[in-house]
Structure 1
Amino acid sequence: MRAILVDDEHLALIGLKKAMEREASEVEIVAAYSDSTKVMAGVLLHRPDVVFLDIHMPDINGLNLGKQIQTVVPGIEIVFVTSYDKYAVQAFELYALDYIMKPLQKDRLRQTILRIKEKLSIRGTKKTHDANSPLICCFNQLQFRLPGMNAQNAKWRTSKAQELFAYLLHHRDRTINRSVLLELLWPELEETKAAQHLYTTIYHIRQTLKNSNMDTISINSGNLEAGYKLDLGEARVDTEEWEYAMRQLGVLDASTADAYEHVLNLYKGDYLGNYDYLWAEHERERLRLLWLYHMRKLCMFYEQQENQKKAIQVHLRIQQLLPDEEESYFSLMKLYDAIGDKIGVEEQYLLLRTKMERDLELPISADITDWYTRWKSVSLTS
């Protein structure tokens, strides 16, 4: 893949370039710029697959530059590099492929490179699937849904079989080396015994797919020493389809708000959220942030339209799926106050206090406490 690197700090640019050369030999760095004014010309000249773009630059905000790049050359993937976590959610306004924090961590950079490879691979082999083809559900739990039927839990022989299938699905269309799978699932066993467990587990997965009428999906082994690759055939993946639908949404206005809400409601929970798979956490967080950004955007739209009831519904949905998000409680307190619902304000404050102090063992932020204290004094006198 071809990449352009952008960072106004010369040393940081050198560091990023060296890290890429060291950890990502498959990436060809076609240009690197510390002067943001030269980036657009470079993008048009080199037509890279991906641009690694620093957000905090003096001449132009990296988010704005990313918008310009995607406007002029649609299809280029953007990976933001930032020292500030607060930009992570904003990055997804551009449907950025990923973001990475400075200082760069080797494993985190490798995750990003793998995601770029998978995205480019999927783009190059993208098939048009019938909406009635089988669906693999990955929101919250792993399920299969056949045409005309509700989603069903598969009967996995063991938890290892389920995780192995989920891992191959996560890296679909890419051969996963056998040694990686052995280390992931049976790190405590010596290689020969672990390999036997792997062969047996692959057999059980194939039986489960057959019994679930999902045999459009195949596991290709080829050279057993090399590893295994999952081929979805005609099957679809709900998280992939959801993200594609998100990217088709246009400007949020009165005529598109219902469509936005419909697509956002298709997000049913975290990616493989019911399972403690550490390898899924990066994708889990990425999709969660993408959803959260657009949910907050929808809330702001409804508030600007003075449609507090719709804004409340959206915030309650955020709270339902992400109960640790302190901001949703505060926003609901203010919205309930705006419609004169004192009980709603009190209920949200109590829920927040219980969540923060008992469950998370953290104090409520001073801004919220101060707002509630002022509101309480006014409400008692009114």
Structure 2
Amino acid sequence: MRVILVDDEPLALKHLERLVGEIQGLDIIGKFDNPEKALEAILRDRPQIVFLDIEMPEINGIQIAERIHNTFPEMNIVFVTAYNEYAVKAFELNAIDYVIKPIQRKRLEETVRRIIIKAPTPIDTPDDAGVICCFKTLRFKSSMDDPDIIEVHWRTSKARELFSFLLQHRQNPVRKDVLLDLLWPEFDESKGLAQLYAAIYQIRKTLKKININITISSFENNYMLELNDTKIDVDEWERGMNKLSVVKGDNLPQFRSLLSLYIGDYLSEEGYLWAESERERLRILWLHYIKDLADFFISKEKYTDAILLYQRVQILHPYVDSSYFILMKLYDLIGDRHSVTQQYNNLKNMLKDEYGIKPNDVIENWYEDWKKKQKRAEIFLEKK
């Protein structure tokens, strides 16, 4: 394995060179006491391992590691330092190890052993790069068509929420102080940052374990989640619906298939308050497409198909009162009197229980007129 050594102290660098040179399988391709030149060589020559001192002038090891990680996230970084105060920050940057000076050969051999046995992460092709599902709850799949869910074990609920928040703000930088206020408001800055760094480290480990090729970059005081080739079901759904735009006979199967992806509101089971605006936006969009499809069925006098759509609306959104009124009208069109009355009673009970109100005058008047028509029809039939 190709190795580059970086330490601004000549004696420490020489000692490190001697120890690394004695370990079989390692090839030292560069050693630097100038951190700027070291960074140039690392980005150019792409070694498998970088042994990196932290306390250096002009640019320190943490800053170098951030730049390495943003360009080559899989590169093995081993911090070598006389101080242990940087441990949390080191592991936030996904360092493979953190070795305290003076370095012992046995300790260094253990570090190299960990690197050698670390399984490489294969990079999938774009068609099989993994999918993150956000409708209803956070889940992972290997592809859009795969029905099986990848089992994921989050170490903490905060790590899961942090990932979800970064995912919602994907491709955009998110300030660390925003994350601290959101997830660890009870801690002071120092303790909060320790929690944040640990959670980022766990997220990276989790994504790597399930082979999802997502990068979380750290720069200045920000994090940014980059999807690379990974897909999100919400994006695929919205992009597909925008392409179809208007329901027509030739795109009806695709329209119905895309609508079926919406199995529940965006991250609804997670209960994140910060997700509510996006949840509401997608909900409104889905209801708009449902109405378009239902109107298409009604125009073709396929009332049962329209009824099935609005029944689905009621299952997912029982407090959308308009669905009850629409179903009352649709059931009237197919002559299902019992279901008209049932929908009206369901609406009346829902409004009373949830809001302490009655159906509005438009619905009340329509229902009273409908009952009168039914009564007249019964009288007419009795006379015959």
Please classify the TM superposition score into its range, dividing by the shorter chain length.
0.5 to 0.7
Query: Is 1:327 the equivalent of 2:325?
Result: no
Q: Which amino acid aligns with 2:129?
A: S
- SS of the equivalent of 2:250 reads coil
Q: Specify the alignment match of 2:267 in structure 1.
A: 272
- SS of the equivalent of 2:126 reads coil
Task: Call closer, same or farther: CA 1:149–1:319 in 2, change over 3 Å.
Answer: closer
The one of 208, 214, 218 equivalent to 2:206 is: 208
The one of 278, 281, 298 equivalent to 1:283 is: 278
Q: Which amino acid aligns with 2:173?
A: T
Total equivalences in the alignment: 252
The one of 358, 371, 374 equivalent to 1:376 is: 371
The one of 139, 158, 161 equivalent to 2:159 is: 161
Q: Which amino acid aligns with 2:217?
A: N
Identity %: 41
Task: Call closer, same or farther: CA 1:365–1:213 in 2, change over 3 Å.
Answer: same
CA distance in 2, matches of 1:252, 1:357: 36
Using structure 2 for the length normalisation, give the TM-score. Answer: 0.62
CA distance in 1, matches of 2:264, 2:310: 15
- SS of the equivalent of 1:309 reads helix
Higher alpha-carbon Rg: 2
Checking the alignment, whether the CA contact within 8 Å between 2:126 and 2:230 is kept in structure 1 is: no
Deviations 1:272-294 (A, max 9, x none): 11122222222111111111111
CA distance in 2, matches of 1:313, 1:131: 33
What RMSD over aligned residues (CA atoms) do the two structures have, in Å? Answer: 2.0
Task: Call closer, same or farther: CA 1:250–1:305 in 2, change over 3 Å.
Answer: same
CA distance in 2, matches of 1:177, 1:252: 42
Q: Specify the alignment match of 1:345 in structure 2.
A: 340
Q: Which amino acid aligns with 1:279?
A: W
The one of 283, 295, 317 equivalent to 1:300 is: 295
Task: Call closer, same or farther: CA 1:273–1:189 in 2, change over 3 Å.
Answer: same
Q: CA deviation at 1:251?
A: 3.5
Q: CA deviation at 1:367?
A: 1.2
Q: Specify the alignment match of 1:357 in structure 2.
A: 352
Q: Specify the alignment match of 2:216 in structure 1.
A: 219
CA distance in 2, matches of 1:152, 1:376: 53
Deviations 1:266-315 (A, max 9, x none): 22221111122222222111111111111111111211211111111111
Map 1:1-382 onto structure 2 (within 5 A). 130-147=126-143, 148=146, 150-152=148-150, 154-214=152-212, 216-223=213-220, 226-381=221-376, 382=378
CA distance in 1, matches of 2:286, 2:137: 18
CA distance in 2, matches of 1:131, 1:302: 34
CA distance in 2, matches of 1:151, 1:370: 49
Task: Call closer, same or farther: CA 1:238–1:376 in 2, change over 3 Å.
Answer: same
- SS of the equivalent of 1:136 reads strand
The answer to which of 150-159 and 283-292 deviates more is: 150-159
Using structure 1 for the length normalisation, give the TM-score. Answer: 0.62
Q: Specify the alignment match of 1:126 in structure 2.
A: none
The answer to which of 335-344 and 269-278 deviates more is: 269-278
Checking the alignment, whether the CA contact within 8 Å between 1:138 and 1:272 is kept in structure 2 is: yes
- SS of the equivalent of 2:347 reads helix
Q: CA deviation at 1:156?
A: 1.4
CA distance in 2, matches of 1:364, 1:152: 45
Deviations 1:299-354 (A, max 9, x none): 11211211111111111122222211111111111111111111211221122122
Checking the alignment, whether the CA contact within 8 Å between 2:135 and 2:233 is kept in structure 1 is: yes
- SS of the equivalent of 2:186 reads coil
- SS of the equivalent of 2:170 reads coil
Checking the alignment, whether the CA contact within 8 Å between 1:137 and 1:151 is kept in structure 2 is: no
Checking the alignment, whether the CA contact within 8 Å between 2:173 and 2:223 is kept in structure 1 is: yes
Q: Which amino acid aligns with 1:253?
A: K
- SS of the equivalent of 1:256 reads helix
Q: Which amino acid aligns with 2:190?
A: T
Checking the alignment, whether the CA contact within 8 Å between 1:142 and 1:153 is kept in structure 2 is: no
Q: Specify the alignment match of 1:53 in structure 2.
A: none
Deviations 1:8-43 (A, max 9, x none): xxxxxxxxxxxxxxxxxxxxxxxxxxxxxxxxxxxx
Q: Which amino acid aligns with 2:285?
A: L
Q: Which runs of 5+ in 2 are unaligned?
A: 1-124, 379-384
Following TM superposition, the consecutive aligned residue runs of length 4 or more in structure 1 with deviations greater than 3 angstroms are none
Deviations 1:63-86 (A, max 9, x none): xxxxxxxxxxxxxxxxxxxxxxxx
Task: Call closer, same or farther: CA 1:251–1:348 in 2, change over 3 Å.
Answer: same
Deviations 1:189-219 (A, max 9, x none): 11111111111111221222233332x1122
